[in-house]
Amino acid sequence: MRYQLRDEQGATRSVAYLMLAAAPVVFLTGIVLPDEHPVAWVLAISLTVLFMGAGGALSMWRPRTLPRLFWLILPFVAVATIAGLNIASRDVAAGSQLFYLWPVLYTANFLSHRVTAMILAMVSAGHASVAFPVLGLAPGLADWISVTVALSLTAIVVASLRNRNDRLRAVLESQALADPLTGLANRRSFDDELDRSVTWARESGEPLALMTVDIDHFKTINDTWGHGVGDQALQVVAACLRTVARRDRDMVARLGGDEFAVLLRTDRLSARRAADEVRTALVAVDGLPCGSPGLSIGIALVPDHALTAEELRAASDAALYEAKEGGRGRTAMAHPPAPRQKVSAPG
């Protein structure tokens, strides 16, 4: 069964606290307080207490020793245990039904909506199996509806809050990884993707191109036209760079100031063509008071010019420097690295 365990650390703590707290409560209410102590009942309660104590201890101090499936099965075991104890003791009091809150809250907070629905159905069936025989049809139906509705509403509220928190977290993560002015990926996001992409290129044998882009004379644009126009120029360049990032894993990033990077899963010829397309798109832009800004672009590829992320970045930066030294407004391709000389062992 496919499921998603959210916040594994929070889930393990939840299980640990619940089981360690529930073990003495079950021992007290199941063995110490009752007047009668049938052997079978005492044995069942003792085994339940041992299971809770051991499970709580492992969840608290050795969670990695438990299989991942444990966190999915546990709420079903909890519901079955609670229902079994209620049936055996013929207990329909509100206090005994409150124990169902834990598996409901656990699944609504840490597992999928499908698992939560299954747990609610199981809780409803478990309570019906004791409410109707003990209370009779009419009172049992009223009690069963009350418990089922109350726990279902609790699950809905918790799941809604969880979904809202997920959306807020996604927004915060997006903001943390995006440049606020252009909406492009920022340096942190780019560095992570560069490492992943270089690993992919080396393992797959496919080419990977890195274009490093600077706006020519950007300081002059700011000094002459003001920072507002400079920001517009940055946004226009960002939009033009986006047009060549057509594949799912291509990335355009603003590294800072007027420096951009474009990561393309393509070969040398297509990378150079992409640089030309960016220039063509930029020339066609109207409305910038400063006119269409020029670009200097350096291109390097894996495996032609580098085999690691640092080597690729250095090769692309060197090509960009060459483009600037050549008069700006140019595209320069990195040079193949010098062959590594083998050092022979002394004879």
- The CA distance from 215 to 295, in Å, is 5
pLDDT in tens, 268-320: 999 999 999 999 999 888 888 888 889 999 999 999 999 999 999 999 999 99
pLDDT in tens, 125-143: 999 999 999 999 999 999 9
Q: Say whether pLDDT at 172 is over 80.
A: no
Using a pLDDT cut of 90, give the percent of the chain over it: 48
Q: Which residue has the higher pLDDT, 4 or 56?
A: 56
User: Residue 4: its pLDDT value, please?
Assistant: 65
Q: Which residue has the higher pLDDT, 331 or 169?
A: 331
- The CA distance from 114 to 149, in Å, is 18
Q: Please give the mean pLDDT across all residues of the chain.
A: 87
User: How distant is the alpha carbon of residue 156 from its chain centre?
Assistant: 23
Annotated catalytic residues are: 258
Contact, 318 vs 290, CB < 8 A?
A: no
User: How distant is the alpha carbon of residue 16 from its chain centre?
Assistant: 24
pLDDT in tens, 217-232: 999 999 999 999 999 9
Region label for 140, one of left (φ > 0), alpha (ψ between -120 and 50) or beta (otherwise):
alpha
Q: Is the pTM of this model over 0.75?
A: no
Pairing assessment for the beta strands 331-333 and 295-302 based on DSSP bridges: parallel
By CB neighbour count within 10 A (0-12 exposed, 13-18 middle, 19+ buried), where does 136 fall? exposed
How many other C-beta atoms are found inside a 10 Å radius of the C-beta of residue 5? 15
- The CA distance from 329 to 334, in Å, is 16
What's the one-letter identity of residue 119? I
Please list the residues that pair with 301 across neighbouring strands: 209
pLDDT in tens, 16-40: 887 888 788 878 877 887 777 788 7
Q: Hey, what are 57's tokens?
A: 């201890």
- The CA distance from 214 to 260, in Å, is 6
Which residue ranges form the domains of the chain, and what is each CATH number?
8-176 (no CATH), 187-333 (3.30.70.270)
Query: Helix or strand or coil: residue 251?
Result: strand
Q: Say whether pLDDT at 340 is over 70.
A: no
